[in-house]
Chains A and B, each alone.
Chain A
Amino acid sequence: MKQQILEADVVIIGGGVTGAAIARELSRYQLGTVLVEKGGELCAGQTKGSLGNIYTGLNLVGSMILKSVLLPPGTPLTELYHPHTLHTKWCEEGFREWEPVLNELDIKHRYVPLTIIAKDEDQIKNLEKIRDLGRQLGGMYADFEQIDREEIFAREPNVNPEVVTALHSERQVIDIFPPEVAIALAENAVENGCKILLDAEVISISQNGPYQIVQTRRESIKTNFIVNAACGWGDKVCDMAGGGRDWGLQYRKTVMIILDTRCKGLVNGMVRWPNVPGRLDLVQRREDNILIECGTYDPTDRPDDTYTIREDVIKSMAVAKTLIPRISEKDIINTFTGVRVFNTRDVEDHIVEFHSLNKKFLNVMIRLPGIIGALPMAGHVVGMLQNAGCKLVKKDDFHSYRKTIPRFRDLSDEVRNRLIRNDPRYGHVVCRCETVTEGQIVEAIKRGASTEEGVRMRTRAGMGRCKGGFCGPRVVKILARELKIPVTEVKKRSLDSPLLLCQSKELLLRNEKGIA
């Protein structure tokens, strides 16, 4: 590939929600910003495999208990709350910060109720722990009510009939689709001048006078500042800039299961058993599907260990059925594994700090819950860069608004007809299961989707029950047509994931030549 040298003021490494949020924040200023992503599409790592809710309050109390798996056993509850950390601050403030941004960027979101249910003695004890900790902390953490059976079934009619009590909060969880959030932030950043390089794994970082050279698998970039938002790969990237970090990264994986939209009526919001250290058991509505995450945070030694283990799926389904008995294996349409990255140097907080030897290299390592923290993190990073001498001048022409690709499925027939009149491709439904039209797919490609997965994450084409059985070949052909590349060049998600290996008869010709 032709070697290009780009110039930038800031290079962001990592195209997850953190990197994308920082890119958008920096695009408010007169700066040359380049975001580089190792994968063939944005959010190829943690963001994609994230449970993906923006939440605070009661659920956060549950998370504190869940994540105490990293603390010594027997750590008292009060030790779980650290009011002065960035993490706590951003989990509290971030919730309010997101609302206007979700609207500005036209990101689909919905406030969903949270119901933590309990049926036996142990669960009630655990539920009381959450309740007491919540009340002790006060404020948003105490913004819930304890409800009885009658109220539980009024709100979530399909939960385990043996439940006796529950904690319930109404507006503390926002259901979003994590890749959409990252992509919307990135699209807006691009509209405001940020450059994004995909399939651009960083190979080396070197110094060149006052500048740093970021060498990627594609271009190299001469830059003043570097923000390392590579998450699970952050330590490796930091090593390229001279090492000196001692984060003690740990990777924990959990399996997630998606059920057919037919089951959507089974759950209204998020339903879970009380968290215990290291274990979470929840079933929730994700748009019109049901999402199940019931399991332990299992250690693994690689941030990309998204290997799905069959037994985990079986166990997870068994627990999910204790929450919502009508759930069935027959309705599984997808299973996937997410890897969460924890730093163990400061188990309570995010890492945001300049490299000890390189004052223009900023390490950013977000701690769960990551999406809520990404936005405050972005503002914080901008401040730190400014303090480090990065000259920030606001752009006069920054556009904070982004329109979504029309979500055909969600529109009224009247609006659909208006779209079709303007562009008949919106009348051509390509993905049956999710009702995605050719117009949407073409628009997604225009906005940067260059692979099957890129189209899927932007439009939902292929995310339904048939997993692209019908639309798959059609989406690939539209990609080839719009990108003006041969069909055999269309990838699933990155350079090394080709979908079709050759044309019909090509192998026969090759074999003939081989024999001759």
Chain B
Amino acid sequence: MISDNIDVLVIGSGPAGMAAAIQAKESGSDHVFLVERAEELGGLLSQCIHNGFGLIYFNEDMTGPEYGQRFVEKVMDSKIEVLLETMVLRLTADRKVTLCNRNGVKTLSPKSIVLAMGCRERTRESIVIPGYRPAGIFTAGTAQRWVNIEGYLPGNEIVILGSGDVGMIMARRLTLEGARVKAVVEILPYIGGLIRNEVQCLYDFKIPVLLEHTVINVLGIQRVQGVTVARVDQNRNPISGTEKSIDCDTLLLSVGLIPENELSFMAGVNLGPITGGPLVNERMETNRPGIFAAGNCVHVNDLVDNVTLEGEKAGQNAAEHASGKAAPKMGIRLEAGENVRYVIPQMITGEREVTIRLRVKEPEKGVILKVGDIMTKTLKVVKPSEMLNLILSETHLNRMKKGTTQLVVSCQKKG
């Protein structure tokens, strides 16, 4: 029987959730619950068997499962109450959370909640790819689960639409499995994911890349038989006359990730129009007191290490909230300015050092990054796929004029 004396309840046991739960425990919360819908801890880390994890956090190059295992062991050692194959059915603004598993449905009232539901993949339907509805169309992440966890291949001849990181990693993975990846098709003039994946997954394996192209047709009624691709113009519309068919039995989609926030929505948490995730302050707290959020449900991160750091921050502050400590006032709003897509967090105190993270809209060379008029930094190159970290020290913050309530973060081209 689950007792209802809970300090911190964390929803989702991916890197953000595990870090939040561990940190909450370490910050003094006695009763920490970690709720996971899947069969095991770790979220998507278990299926990310490639390397590149932990370079920042552990200063080591690890695979996803290796990275995850360090946290799984800590969770196990630190008397965190883990509930697997448990779905959260409801969440209210006053932190009533309804869980469902094989023991039944139960509503609890934790003192703090950390939302760490991660993200889901954009589907064929959400980007409206025309055609029939054959078998053989998978999102890259689902295909990854099939190959790496379940041990099955979705197909033999593959076309991948979108050059997100998961798509590129799957291009390499499927090639290593003996499948033929016939093209990675990207609508933008540049690759969507990290440079390291572009090099290590596509170029090293000589996978054909079609930039400024898209899939305009899926052939096959029962199973995919091919796709038609076409070049696109500046407005991303297909140019007629440039169509060509590629025979394949499988189409993978790596066309974007959407923060998973159905529970946040139910609880009346304010979501940002650009990030699609909760608007958070520097404590990773949402507009609903005692409801914190971290990781890819807040915004789609570039590196797992950063997700872990966000989770730790949320966990620590969730523990503080549970202990009854009063929250500081968040008086300064951070706004995205020129060529900045978004900034995390959106609210800060302005009175203590804080790390802010941002993503640019367009790739650019030779830029000046500005935070209001309290900080500037020059950078050689910026890319939307790689987030920028900035530390606003107390020295910077002391430069703010009295009465400042907003700082605009911009990324202007030099000169």
Query: Which residue numbers of A lie inside 8 Å of B, CB to CB?
Result: 262, 304, 306-310, 313-314, 329, 332-336, 413, 416-417, 420-421, 424-425, 427-429, 432-433, 435, 465-470, 472-473, 477, 487-488, 491-494, 496-508, 510-511
Contact = CB atoms under 8 A, between A and B. Distances in A.
18 contacts: A306-B132, A308-B131, A310-B130, A420-B104, A433-B262, A466-B120, A470-B37, A470-B120, A473-B149, A492-B222, A497-B134, A499-B154, A500-B146, A504-B153, A504-B177, A506-B153, A507-B156, A507-B178
A500 B222 contact: no
Contact of A429 (B37, B107, B156): B37
A503 B177 CA distance: 10
B54 interface: no
B334 to A, nearest CB: 24
Contacts of B150: 473, 477, 487
Given A427-B105, A429-B100, 18 more contacts: A306-B133, A307-B132, A308-B130, A309-B130, A332-B128, A334-B125, A413-B105, A420-B104, A420-B105, A428-B101, A429-B37, A467-B123, A473-B150, A487-B152, A488-B152, A501-B249, A504-B151, A511-B178
A507 B179 contact: yes
A215 to B, nearest CB: 22
B126 interface: yes
A417 B265 contact: no
B135 interface: yes
Query: At the interface, is chain A mostly helix, strand, loop or mixed?
Result: mixed
Nearest to A306: B132
Given A421-B104, A473-B142, A502-B152, A492 B135 contact: yes
A306 B132 CA distance: 6
Given A492-B135, A499-B135, A507-B178, A427 B142 contact: no
A504 B135 contact: no
A419 B105 CA distance: 10
B102 A420 contact: yes
B370 interface: no
A510 B178 contact: yes
Contacts of B100: 416, 420, 427, 429
B374 interface: no
Interface in B132-146: 132-136, 139, 141-142, 145-146
Top-3 shortest CB links A-B: A507-B178, A492-B135, A429-B87
Interface string B374-386: 0000000000000
A466 B153 contact: no
A496 B223 contact: yes
B104 A503 contact: no
Interface in B85-122: 85, 87, 89, 98, 100-105, 107, 120-121
B327 to A, nearest CB: 29
A304 B220 CA distance: 12
Nearest to B124: A467
Contacts of B249: 501
B156 A501 contact: yes
Nearest to A511: B178
B126 A333 contact: yes
A262 B264 CA distance: 12
A217 to B, nearest CB: 14
Given A425-B102, A501-B155, A335 B142 contact: no
A497 B134 CA distance: 7
B195 interface: no
B221 interface: yes
Interface of B: 37, 85, 87, 89, 98, 100-105, 107, 120-121, 123-126, 128-136, 139, 141-142, 145-147, 149-156, 177-179, 216, 221-223, 249-250, 262, 265
Contact of B107 (A334, A413, A493, A504): A413
A335 B126 CA distance: 9
Contacts of B128: 308, 310, 313-314, 329, 332, 335
A488 B152 CA distance: 8
A286 B32 CA distance: 40
A505 B156 CA distance: 12
Given A306-B133, A416-B100, A424-B102, A503 B152 contact: yes
Contacts of A499: 135-136, 154
Kindly name the residue among B100, B155, B156, B265 whose own CB sees the greatest number of chain A CB atoms within 10 A.
B100
A308 B218 CA distance: 10
A86 B249 CA distance: 47
A411 to B, nearest CB: 9
A472 B142 contact: yes
Given A336-B133, A429-B87, A469-B139, A505 B104 contact: no
B405 to A, nearest CB: 30
A286 B250 CA distance: 31
A310 B238 CA distance: 12
B146 A332 contact: no
B123 A432 contact: no
Contacts of A306: 132-133
B178 A262 contact: no
A498 B141 contact: no
B384 to A, nearest CB: 19
A332 B125 contact: yes
B136 to A, nearest CB: 8
Contacts of A314: 128
Contacts of A467: 123-125
Contacts of A424: 102-103
Nearest to A39: B222
B135 A497 contact: yes
Contacts of A504: 147, 151-153, 177
B363 to A, nearest CB: 25
A479 to B, nearest CB: 13
A313 B128 CA distance: 8
A511 B178 CA distance: 7
A510 B153 CA distance: 13
B264 to A, nearest CB: 12
Contacts of B89: 429, 435
Nearest to A500: B152
A433 B123 CA distance: 14
Nearest to A417: B104
Nearest to A336: B133
A4 B335 CA distance: 72
